[in-house]
Amino acid sequence: MTQRKPAILVARAIFPSVIERLREHFDVTSNDDDAIWSPDDLASRLQGKAGILTTGAERVGAELLAACPDLRIAANMAVGYNNFDLAAMTERGVQATNTPDVLTETTADFGFALMMATARRMAESEHYLRAGLWKRWRYDMFAGAEVHGSTLGILGMGRIGQGIARRGALGFGMKVIYHNRSRLDAATEVACGATYVSKAELLQQADHLVLVLPYSPSSHHAIGAAELAQMKPTATLTNIARGGIVDDAALAVALRERRIAAAGLDVFEGEPQLNPELLTVPNVVLTPHIASATLPTRQAMADLAADNLIAFLTTGRALTPLNTPTGR
């Protein structure tokens, strides 16, 4: 008698090739229309499913877990996992996984590009040009900040932070300083050309501050009005980490009042909604959470999420686990 395949749910549209590979192992319900499901809809569709492939937007918390007793694994197609309640998942015996490493260099590329666009006022000057306002040259027209030789500050020095540090130190001759929950070993600091400083020193000394720390309750509003007040008025702030790390309302005020020079934001509180005040200030570059958005990288992320589902539901061992389930 043929053994029945485990059932899984793919919560958002992903590469068809990945869906086909999953179908070799599972009874797959896929969201080919890429509909945005409410929490109740998600719970309804997850009934009887052993696994779910999430994309970072679907919340897997105590309420969903209670409603879906058959769930054994949630595989996030993202390196961040603030959509997962790891404590609740561990207690319920549900494996959580993410997709580290495969997006490191692509995201570091984007973070550095966003920082440069912010420093050199690229979006602001493009809007000016598109509006037909460019009539003549002027010596100080959209004069921005230097990148080469300036001080790059990094808050959060994991894989992506280290990638940004290497780009700054080796490619642009920047002085790199960083603050992290724990200091890197000496060899890694040398490889990154980076010097550890306190958070206060980081805020006060950085010409360009880049945020790459994971979101958690302890990092909520890690950059708020008090922190922005410590930055140089000529400094820029770039956030490619997670929404909620920056107090967006306080940032909008600081930008409007030129307490800092500019900001580049790829993530926002409550995204895809964003603070409307950010749309009214000219000195900000806004992108819709696309730091990992190259086709090869997104394919690698989807493949790793699928590999985690396959490995765990066939062998009991995930490839990139975030927790050690204890509830089953």
Question: Which of the following is catalytic: 12, 92, 167, 289?
Answer: 289
- Catalytic site residue 271? yes
Catalytic position from the list 72, 242, 269, 298: 242
242 carries an active-site annotation: yes
Contacts 24+ apart (CB under 8 A), 75-79: 75/51, 75/305, 75/306, 75/308, 75/309, 75/312, 75/318, 76/305, 77/14, 77/53, 77/301, 77/302, 77/304, 77/305, 78/54, 78/292, 78/301, 79/103, 79/107, 79/160, 79/292
Do residues 268 and 245 lie in contact, with contact meaning Cβ atoms separated by under 8 Å?
no
Omega cis (within 30) before 6: no
Residue 15's Cβ-count burial label (10 Å; 0-12, 13-18, 19+) is middle
Which strand (E) or helix (H) includes residue 75? strand 73-76
CA proximity to 210, closest of 101, 115, 80, 109: 115
Whole-number CA gyration radius for the chain: 22
Annotated catalytic residue: which of 63, 105, 201, 271? 271
The two beta strands, 7-10 and 51-54, are parallel
CA distances to 2, 30, 72, 166, 327 from 8, in Å: 18, 9, 10, 40, 20
Q: How many CB atoms lie within 10 A of CB 296?
A: 9
Which residues are part of the catalytic machinery?
A: 242, 271, 289
